[in-house]
Amino acid sequence: MRKFSRRHKGNIEKTKNKICLSLDEAIDILQETSTAKFVESVELHANLNIDPKYADQQLRTTVTLPHGVGKELSIAVLTNDENFAEAQNAGADIVGNDDLIEEITKGNIQFDLLIATPNMMPKLAKLGRVLGPKGLMPSPKSGTVSTTLEATLTEFKKGKFEYKADKTGVVHVSFGKSDFAKNQLVDNLQALYNSIEKNRPSGVKGKYFKSLFICSSMGPSIKLDLGAFA
């Protein structure tokens, strides 16, 4: 039988059979139970009434949270030589074309996000098996295929990121760090919820959200009342 630490048992007791009616209450409990010896990430887990195997029930989009998520992204850009200077001046950490493709082919992926110009996409097709499972394959829908590199890089450097529902229809996404101010976490959580609601797939019939939970990296799940969001 799995044994829990005294710290974890205490946190579970604070959330047992608890449903938070407001975001303020939920964030209070979240921060109170974020007791690991490091700064924990905090996540939203939204169980949606969708079946992603159908094209009209898939959720994949981007969002920029008001206060970011507390993580600095390493961004690579795949483009023509003539665009290198623009990408580098806009803050790209890695810029390349055929040489970058070769590194990716070898499995040498030293970036968190890959942005590509449209003319490079045919060359990336063969790397779908490498980039796809890691969620790094550029796509127009996620904003990572772009002809305006400066604007795109600026957005992502400010904290824009992509999220999607997994094959079971659940969205797992970070909305900050446990040491953020309470109001920052409330703002980010509300913005993330609004984004999921705004991008409701056309094929959804009836109730969209089944359940909503938040948690920290090492903390227990905290259930939210569906009416907690404005």
Residue pair 201/58 in contact by the 8 Å Cβ criterion: yes
Between CA 105 and CA 133 the distance in angstroms is: 14
**pLDDT less than 50: residues of the chain:** 1
Q: 126, 157, 188: which is the final residue of a domain? A: 157
Residue pair 128/46 in contact by the 8 Å Cβ criterion: no
Range of the domain at 131: 75-157
Q: Are residues 132 and 60 in the same domain?
A: no
Does some domain include residue 1? no
Q: Are residues 150 and 196 in the same domain?
A: no
Does some domain include residue 145? yes
Q: Are residues 147 and 82 in the same domain?
A: yes
Looking at residue 48, what is its pLDDT?
A: 97
Which pairs from 140-147 meet CB under 8 Å and 24+ separation?
141/60, 141/61, 142/60, 142/61, 142/62, 143/62, 144/113, 144/114, 144/115, 144/116, 145/115, 145/116, 145/117, 145/118, 145/121, 146/115, 146/116, 146/117, 147/117, 147/118
Does some domain include residue 32? yes
Q: Are residues 89 and 152 in the same domain?
A: yes
Residue 146 belongs to domain with CATH number = 3.40.50.790
- Tokens coding 63: 């969002």
Q: Are residues 131 and 88 in the same domain?
A: yes
Q: 141, 157, 173: which is the final residue of a domain? A: 157
Q: Are residues 166 and 147 in the same domain?
A: no
Does some domain include residue 6? no
Residue pair 216/178 in contact by the 8 Å Cβ criterion: yes
Unique residue bearing structure tokens 């139970």: 33
Number of domains within the chain: 2
Amino acid at residue number 130 = V
Q: Which residues are CB-neighbours of 133 under 8 A, at least 6 positions away?
A: none
Looking at residue 1, what is its pLDDT?
A: 47
Does some domain include residue 80? yes
Q: Are residues 189 and 221 in the same domain?
A: yes
Residue pair 37/31 in contact by the 8 Å Cβ criterion: no
Does some domain include residue 42? yes
Give the residue among 136, 134, 159, 166 at the shortest CA–CA distance from 45: 166
Does some domain include residue 12? no
Residue 169 belongs to domain with CATH number = 3.30.190.20
Does some domain include residue 3? no
Looking at residue 194, what is its pLDDT?
A: 97
Q: Are residues 151 and 82 in the same domain?
A: yes
Between CA 167 and CA 187 the distance in angstroms is: 28
